[in-house]
Amino acid sequence: MKTALFAFVLLFALVSQPLLGAAEASPDEVVDTVGKLLRAGVNYNILLSMPYTNSRNPKGLGLSKIGKSCPLDVVVVDRYHSLPLRFIPVNPKKGVIRVSTDLNIMFPPNITCPHHSTVWKLESFKVSKGRSLSLVSTGGVKGNPGRETIGNWFKIEKYGGAYKLVYCPSVCPYCKHVVCENVGMFVDEKGNHRLALSAVPFQVKFLKA
């Protein structure tokens, strides 16, 4: 009887443990405004709301030449003038975009700066003496994770019934030194509404273009 009981307990312990080498569950898929999976390489418009604008009148994203020739900076625009974007995950073979996954974000080629990449990257901007912040510009490199491209990686996270964009790369050994931040907005002294790292994130949704 004791032998049978011991065998039962041992069998229960074995089947209740995860299988050795079993893969961890993948992060949730990101979905667009109609509930379809967000896919790599497909054009989407990013709709921006809370707290800068309400969900009934969301904004979009575009490109602007601010205080320099090229590359272009990412700015907040009226949704009807927004430009489509594509998401490229760190593993380009993955066809579906998932939350908490490193990815490049890029606009289609732009005729204003035809010789510059439209991949997002961070650029330091001096706000005042001794104070600077990180703005989202273009001219980044697609793929090739490493120290030189650490400012080119973003993630999508769940937020308030929708999503938010964050800068929190985990694609290289140097990433552990990065301070994770949300993507929000900064209005410069000339009134340009520029995409920037911020304590206050935009709530975002994705509309297939």
Domains of the chain plus CATH, in order, are 27-208 (2.80.10.50)
Going residue by residue through the chain (209 aa), what tens digit of pLDDT does each one get? Answer: 445 444 444 444 444 454 444 456 889 999 999 999 999 999 999 999 988 877 788 999 999 998 778 999 999 999 999 999 999 999 988 899 999 999 999 999 998 899 999 999 999 988 777 788 999 999 999 999 988 999 999 999 999 999 999 999 999 888 888 999 999 999 988 899 999 999 999 999 999 99
Characterise 109 by phi-psi region: left (phi > 0), alpha (psi -120 to 50), beta (else). beta
Q: Nearest-CA neighbor of 197 among 140, 159, 153, 160? A: 153
Structure tokens at 55: 């969900």
What is the Cα–Cα distance from 39 to 153, expressed in whole angstroms?
17
Q: How far is CA 189 from CA 67, 68, 78, 204, in A?
A: 12, 15, 20, 25
pLDDT of res. 62: 96
What pLDDT sits at residue 18?
A: 46
